[in-house]
Amino acid sequence: MIPAQVSYVRATSVEQTLELLAEHGDDAKVLAGGHSLLPLMKFRFAAPEVLVDIAPLDELRYVRESGEEIAIGALTRYRDLHANEILRAHAPLLAEVAGAIGDPQVRNRGTIGGSLAHADPAADLPAAALASDAVFVVRGPEGEREIAAEDFFLGPFTTPLEPDELLVEIRVPKLTGVGWGFEKFNRRAIDWAIVGVTAVGSSIALINMGGSPIRAHAAEQALADGASPAEAGALAAEDTNPADEPHASADYRRHLARVLTTRALAKVAGEWPAGLH
Amino acid sequence: MRVGIEVNGKQTTEDVEDRTLLVHHLRDVLGLTATNVGCDTTSCGACTVLLDGEAVKSCTVLAAQADGHAVTTLEGLTDPDGGDLHPMQRAFREQHGLQCGFCTPGMIMASVSLLRDNPKPSRDEVRHALEGNLCRCTGYHNIVNAVMDASGQEVQA
């Protein structure tokens, strides 16, 4: 499969990228690792006229502590997130989730900013960012604005990012020592989750239980009221809208959400030993 | 656009369409046909090459993205003048790590990349590291043996 004709432009700076995006508007797409965009272009589900490759922008590749937060450059790859000592110490959920996406080859290319901006409801990092109360720093012609993860995932592949804006940084609060859990159910190692659950402390975000990653509010409320992992997990499918597909019915997905949330919360509480499943 | 890539230690410069995939560039423009196109959807790993020393699926990288970088294909593992096999190639041959052989170039490149990161992997780590490479003959057991052998570790009967 070969993408449609496209003009490839290599970015030299964030400012120049913003100028290119302003010039080409909807006709341009930002290329980071390319592991969401290029497959879409090969199927010709996407056919941008201009590709702005931001991979050369090394200034967007970092993980650093910033007071009570961690700041992550949008171009940081899954591989580097997984290995990063700061994340492992203060936001281990993100490090662990990044290390479970796709396969090593994919993790050598895929970037956190690319995954979040792509906003695939079946992707892992958007849910992990949502559970972690992340804030996304977006730069555009008017300057910088911040968007909370809660307000970012509007629907399948839909975010408030304007065509002339660029996601440049992800900020997450330090959650040092806070229990976390991540459960992903799929048929083959490299597949997207049929259903997945990310949990840190009392925050729970579900993967592939609707058109965007969603917080399991009923389960979170139950936890706050003193429920056990099993009691809270039983409420995980409340107010969700999972796809009903031949390989995974909506009922099956609701069942998975309950089981996986119970397991994730047991891990949060330190009750579920590693390697049991 | 004009794309300059160091391929197997040799600088190449070619004019290609911007949309050209790296795997097509390697096979059709540079004539390096060890790298296979399998699924063409970032799943099977048959097209795995090293980009700046790291395994990538070349069906999901544009040649343009590799401009200014270094690519190693299976052909680049051995001396072009007919030198000895690379230790990973030798191990795949000795351990019967291939049946039809279609996945083998990708398997070998992914395995070379693994040993660069982790010179003495456990069998479990080998299996995880090769999760992005599918063998439709399902000869995984001997492939894991080959990687263990190449890393100087005990091979399971």
Query: DSSP string spanning A211-240?
Result: SS-EE-HHHHHHHHTT--HHHHHTTTTTT-
Distance CA A178, CA A200 (A): 7
Q: Which residue in the set B57, B64, B128 is minimally distant from A8, CB to CB?
A: B64
- Residue A274 is predicted with a pLDDT of 47
Binary contact (A190, B21; C-beta < 8 A): no
A1 near B CB under 8 A: yes
**pLDDT band (50, 70, 90) for residue A78:** very high
Q: To the nearest whole percent, how much of chain A has pLDDT over 90?
A: 95
B7 near A CB under 8 A: no
Q: What are phi and psi of A184, to 5 degrees?
A: -130, 130
Q: Which residue in the set B17, B57, B128 is minimally distant from A105, CB to CB?
A: B57
Binary contact (A2, B24; C-beta < 8 A): yes
pLDDT tens digits for range A149-203: 999 999 999 999 999 999 999 999 999 999 999 999 998 888 999 999 999 999 9
What is the average pLDDT value for chain A, to the nearest integer? 96
**pLDDT band (50, 70, 90) for residue A44:** very high
Binary contact (B65, A31; C-beta < 8 A): yes
- How far CA A100 is from CA of A8, A82, A165, A194, B146, in Å, comes to 30, 9, 29, 14, 25
- How far CA A75 is from CA of A63, A114, A132, in Å, comes to 10, 7, 19
pLDDT tens digits for range A92-113: 999 999 999 999 999 999 999 9
User: Mutating which of A35, A105, A120 best tests the B interface, going by the most B Cβ atoms within 10 A?
Assistant: A105
Distance CA B112, CA B104 (A): 12
**pLDDT band (50, 70, 90) for residue A276:** very low
**From its phi and psi, is residue A264 left (phi > 0), alpha (psi between -120 and 50) or beta?**
alpha
Nearest CA in chain A to B65: A53
Q: Which residue in the set B19, B41, B45 is minimally distant from A105, CB to CB?
A: B45
Nearest to B8 by CA among B103, B109, B101: B109
- Residue A272 is predicted with a pLDDT of 63
State the smallest CA–CA distance between residue A104 and chain B in angstroms: 6
**pLDDT band (50, 70, 90) for residue A270:** confident
- The model carries a pTM of 0.95
Distance CA A259, CA A233 (A): 7
Distance CA B48, CA B52 (A): 13
ipTM, interface predicted TM-score of the complex: 0.96
A249 near B CB under 8 A: no
Interval A248-253 mean pLDDT: 98
Could you give the count of Cα atoms lying within 13 Å of A182 in the half-sphere of its Cβ?
A: 21
Nearest to B57 by CA among B43, B67, B70, B78: B43
**pLDDT band (50, 70, 90) for residue B81:** confident
Binary contact (B41, A106; C-beta < 8 A): no
pLDDT tens digits for range B115-140: 999 999 999 999 999 999 999 999 99
- The runs of H, that is alpha helices, within chain A are 14-24, 37-42, 78-83, 85-90, 92-98, 104-107, 112-118, 124-131, 217-224, 229-233, 250-268
Q: Which residue in the set A2, A39, A104 is minimally distant from B60, CB to CB?
A: A39
CB A136 within 8 A of CB A109: no
What is the average pLDDT value for chain B, to the nearest integer? 96
Strand order across the A69-73 sheet: A63-66, A69-73, A166-173, A135-140, A143-148
